[in-house]
Structure formats: structure tokens, C-alpha cells
């Protein structure tokens, strides 16, 4: 099965876009196959406050055949530096959609963290031979704790148990 | 007594209030678990995670569509 993020990750890498995968989909990558997997539709990509980088991210999405949205509306055109500067100044999120109910959020906000701190501690994992920068699990959990939304609390309430199961299994085998 | 719509709404309201009051702490034990998972060989930089993804809704629907319920005798 092709990983749904792989085509976009390839396009992002080709354009040297700086981003870090965060959120539940990133936390999932720390679990082995068949364990500690939390269902999610979303891939959250944390981007720096850099308009030129944001433009390259948009171009990568378009190249990968994905659609860009701002709220419920298609992202305005031209998707130029002026638009990127406006969105960066307001830390606005770009929603990306694609085949198979793919949903990717290009966000410039990670509660409790700035981009450089997360970037410098990132873990480069490989997905279908493409390097994907992933946030440290610790940072993902700390950010969810800081955000404190109901869905974050639900995740945290179950995540600890999932980790315990994950660490217990090899010892039992 | 037959439950009413008001009863249902009250239960939902109470559940929402309870969720808002839940506080999850990042205890030393939890942080130690996270450190152990991060230190696992399969979670080091360069690890291949191609096979790790299965969390999407389409995959969930596909998995559920394959479920067959078996009748049980009590």
C-alpha cells in the first residue's frame, strides 16, 4: 500500500521545503506495526514563519495533484509572495486535500513550541525511501498537553497505556 | 419512565462538562515511557517507517467491511 503522504513528501523534499510532521500521525510513527496506532485522517505539517517556504509548500502540493483550501474556500490565486506574507503574518492554516480522503494541514502553530526548536530536534524517518522530518515524540506529547483540547485529553488518556503495551510486548515474547 | 430528548441533552451536557474538567498530567513515569520509546532502535533517525501507516478512515472502513459477526449461544 502506498503511504498517502509519500507523493507529497517527495514533492516537498524536491523543493527543499522545511517542515516537521507533528500531531497524532507523527506519534503513530513511533509505534511498531500493529500496535499503538491511533486512527486519524489528518497529517499536520508544521512550517516556519517563512513566506517563501510557504509558497514552495503550496507549489509542492499542486505538483502532487492536491487541492489547497483556506477555510471552506479554495486558496486564492495568485498564490504569490503577497498572499504568503499575509497568511504568515496571521499564522493562517492551509488545508490540503487529495485522493482517498487525504487531509493535510500546513500549520505555522504548534502549541508551546517554536519551529526552530522542533526542527532542531526532529527525527528524519524514511517513508518509501523519502526522508520525512518528524517531531520528537516528547514534543508532540508536550504540545498536546499544552493545547489541552478535549481531543488532546482523549489522546493523552489512551496514549500512555499504548506506550506501556508497546514496551511490555517484547519482554513477554 | 421513557427517556426524553431533554434527558439526552442533559447527559451530553454533563459529559462535556466532565471532559472539560479532566486533567492529564505528564508525570515522571509517563515521560520515562516516552524516553524509552524514543530510544528504541526502530525509532532512530533514518528508520524506515513505510509500513507503519494504517490509521486512515478509508483503511478503517475497509477493515470494518471485512468484519463478520458470528452468532453466539448463551
Mean pLDDT of A59-81: 97
Q: Which pLDDT belongs to residue A173?
A: 44
The domain locations on chain B are 8-42
- 3-state SS, residue B39: coil
Greater confidence, A135 or B25?
A: A135
ipTM: 0.89
Could you tell me if B58 lies within 8 Å of chain A, comparing CB atoms?
yes
Could you report the per-residue pLDDT of A111-128, keeping only the tens digit for each?
Answer: 999 999 999 999 999 999
Mean pLDDT of B42-47: 95
Q: What angle do CA B13, B19, B20 make, to 5 degrees?
A: 90
Q: What angle do CA B25, B29, B34 make, to 5 degrees?
A: 90
Could you tell me if B48 lies within 8 Å of chain A, comparing CB atoms?
yes
User: Which residues in chain A have their CB less than 8 angstroms from residue B58's CB?
Assistant: 100-101
Q: Which pLDDT belongs to residue B64?
A: 60
From the centroid of its chain, how far is CA A103? Answer: 10
**B42 contacts A126? CB cut-off 8 A:** no
User: Taking 70 as the threshold, does the pLDDT of residue B19 lie above it?
Assistant: no
Q: Which pLDDT belongs to residue B45?
A: 96
Q: Which domains does chain A have, with CATH numbers?
A: 6-158 (3.30.460)
- 3-state SS, residue B24: coil
**B49 contacts A150? CB cut-off 8 A:** no
Count other C-beta atoms under 10 Å from residue A133's C-beta: 23
Mean of pLDDT over chain A: 91
User: Which residues in chain A have their CB less than 8 angstroms from residue B18's CB?
Assistant: none
**B53 contacts A32? CB cut-off 8 A:** no
Q: Which pLDDT belongs to residue B10?
A: 87
How far is it, in rounded angstroms, from Cα B37 to Cα B35?
5
Q: What percent of chain A has pLDDT over 70?
A: 92
Amino acid at each position: 500500500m502506498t503511504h498517502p503522504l509519500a507523493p507529497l513528501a517527495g514533492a516537498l523534499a524536491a523543493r527543499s521545503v522545511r517542515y516537521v510532521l507533528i500531531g497524532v500521525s507523527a506519534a503513530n510513527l513511533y509505534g511498531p506495526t500493529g500496535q499503538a496506532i491511533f486512527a486519524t485522517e489528518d497529517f499536520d505539517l508544521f512550517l516556519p514563519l517563512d513566506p517563501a517556504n510557504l509558497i514552495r509548500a503550496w507549489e509542492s502540493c499542486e505538483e502532487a495533484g492536491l487541492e489547497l483550501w483556506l477555510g471552506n474556500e479554495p486558496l486564492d490565486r495568485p498564490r504569490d509572495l503577497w498572499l504568503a506574507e499575509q497568511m504568515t503574518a496571521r499564522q493562517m492554516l492551509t488545508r490540503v486535500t487529495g485522493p482517498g480522503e487525504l487531509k493535510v494541514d500546513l500549520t505555522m502553530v504548534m502549541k508551546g513550541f517554536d519551529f526552530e526548536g522542533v526542527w532542531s530536534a526532529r527525527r528524519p524517518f524514511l517513508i518509501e525511501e523519502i526522508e520525512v522530518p518528524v517531531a520528537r515524540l516528547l514534543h508532540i506529547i508536550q504540545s498536546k498537553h499544552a493545547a489541552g483540547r478535549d481531543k488532546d485529553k482523549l489522546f493523552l488518556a489512551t496514549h500512555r497505556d499504548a506506550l506501556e503495551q508497546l514496551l511490555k510486548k517484547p519482554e513477554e515474547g | 419512565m421513557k427517556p426524553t430528548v431533554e434527558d439526552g441533552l442533559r447527559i451530553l451536557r454533563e459529559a462535556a462538562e466532565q471532559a472539560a474538567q479532566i486533567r492529564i498530567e505528564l508525570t515522571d513515569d509517563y515521560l520515562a515511557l516516552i524516553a524509552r520509546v524514543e530510544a528504541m532502535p526502530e525509532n532512530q533517525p533514518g528508520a524506515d517507517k513505510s509500513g507503519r501507516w494504517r490509521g486512515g478512515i478509508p483503511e478503517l472502513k475497509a477493515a470494518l467491511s471485512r468484519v463478520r459477526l458470528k452468532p453466539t449461544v448463551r
